[in-house]
Amino acid sequence: MSDEAFDAICSFVESDLGFATSHYNDSYLDRRISSRIRRTNSEGYEAYADLLRSDPDEQTALLDSFSINVTGFFRNPDVWDGVRSVLRSLSASNETVHVWSAACADGREAYSLAMLARDDPEIDESSVYVLGTDISDPALETARQGVYRRTRTTDIDDQLSYLETYEDYVECEDDCVRIRPTLSETVRFERHDLINDEPKSGFDLVICRNLFIYIDPAYKESMLETIARSLRPGGYLVIGKAETIPPSLKATFTIHDGRLRIYRVDSTDGSAPSNG
Ligand SMILES: C[S@@+](CC[C@H](N)C(=O)[O-])C[C@H]1O[C@@H](n2cnc3c(N)ncnc32)[C@H](O)[C@@H]1O
């Protein structure tokens, strides 16, 4: 890679197109830019930089390719067994259980939480409040609509089959599944940027998976601090299976289940929830 040309592309994207490339790691950005270079048959970074500056359609295409919104219902099913047991224990010891799906993409993770709470007889679903947040407005729009298309590459029914009775929570149509209103009423969505926005407060469980792998280490720590401040004392954090807690925060997040990447905060000044 030509470092200079790569840096020039990243600076242009940040200053002119408003996407904060400096928050993401170089290998992630490079994979996306290289893929656009191939798709546009450009002869390297310099040629692609010229194309990008002059072609608004290519600017849109590159920004689209940066949106890392791969997700699914009950993604990594073994993690959901761990989430189930955390929700059971929170439900047994709290009148209300506030759950935050941070970086929820199109909302399937947040709806999975709400379905699980309804499905499990040991969880009092009426006490569980789910908030889904993301930085992407189009993803949040899909989340609020709660309609997910079946495509050649996405077997939604297979994802949902983690719960035998999933049709209680979604209406299955020919080409899509639609979250039933009784479920969607229990999940709220709002925009939140984990890098620039304030922490929330009073959450018992935060699920923030498959975002840190893309983030520059300098920002990862402050994002995890934002999450720690959003949790009640004794609250839980679930991160992605390929993600780790930086050494500087190992005293803040103690391991609850190392294999499933479930952690617990021992003490914060968490107070009443500001959301949900
Ligand atoms: C790969 S998806 C993860 C979705 C879901 N958590 C999962 O594991 O299936 C990453 C999401 O992070 C969101 N994101 C990127 N930067 C963010 C930020 N600074 N604050 C909040 N969300 C962000 C993206 O818009 C995207 O929807």
The best mutation among 23, 24, 83, 134 to test binding of ligand 1, ranked by most ligand atoms within 8 Å of the C-beta, falls on: 134
184 domain residue, yes or no: yes
The best mutation among 135, 209, 227, 260 to test binding of ligand 1, ranked by most ligand atoms within 8 Å of the C-beta, falls on: 135
273 domain residue, yes or no: no
Domain count, the chain: 2
Domain boundaries, position 23: 3-66
CB of residue 213 inside a 6 A radius of ligand 1: no
- For strand 147-149 and strand 97-102, is the pairing parallel, antiparallel, or unpaired? unpaired
- Global pTM value: 0.86
**Residue 134 and residue 235 share a domain:** yes
**Residue 101 and residue 54 share a domain:** no
271 domain residue, yes or no: no
**138: its two tokens:** 């189009």
**Residue 98 and residue 58 share a domain:** no
Query: Could you give phi then psi for residue 25, rounded to 5 degrees?
Result: -80, 150
99 domain residue, yes or no: yes
**Residue 99 and residue 23 share a domain:** no
**Residue 249 and residue 128 share a domain:** yes
**Residue 126 and residue 198 share a domain:** yes
Going 248 to 253 to 254 to 260, the CA torsion angle's sign is: negative
**Residue 228 and residue 145 share a domain:** yes
**Residue 153 and residue 19 share a domain:** no
Please report the atom of ligand 1 found closest to the CA of residue 139.
27
Give the pLDDT confidence score for residue 199 in this predicted structure.
98
CB of residue 220 inside a 6 A radius of ligand 1: no
CB of residue 261 inside a 6 A radius of ligand 1: no
CB 97 within 8 A of CB 118: no
Give the pLDDT confidence score for residue 272 in this predicted structure.
46
275 domain residue, yes or no: no
Give the pLDDT confidence score for residue 236 in this predicted structure.
98
pLDDT digits (tens, 9 = 90+) for 28-58: 999 999 999 999 999 999 999 999 999 989 9
270 domain residue, yes or no: no
CB of residue 68 inside a 6 A radius of ligand 1: yes
CB 127 within 8 A of CB 204: no
Predicted confidence pLDDT, tens digits, the chain (276 residues): 568 999 999 999 988 887 889 988 999 999 999 999 999 999 999 999 999 999 989 998 898 888 777 899 999 999 999 999 999 999 999 999 999 999 999 999 999 999 999 999 999 999 999 999 999 888 999 999 999 998 766 789 999 999 999 999 999 998 999 999 999 999 999 999 999 999 999 999 999 999 998 898 889 999 999 999 999 999 999 999 989 999 999 999 999 999 999 999 985 444 445 544
Q: Whose CA is nearest to atom 2 of ligand 1?
A: 69
**Residue 212 and residue 123 share a domain:** yes
21 domain residue, yes or no: yes
H helix runs in the chain, sequence order: 3-17, 26-39, 45-54, 56-66, 77-93, 108-119, 137-145, 156-160, 181-184, 217-230
**Residue 87 and residue 49 share a domain:** no
Q: Which of 66, 90, 119 is the last residue of a domain?
A: 66
CB of residue 238 inside a 6 A radius of ligand 1: no
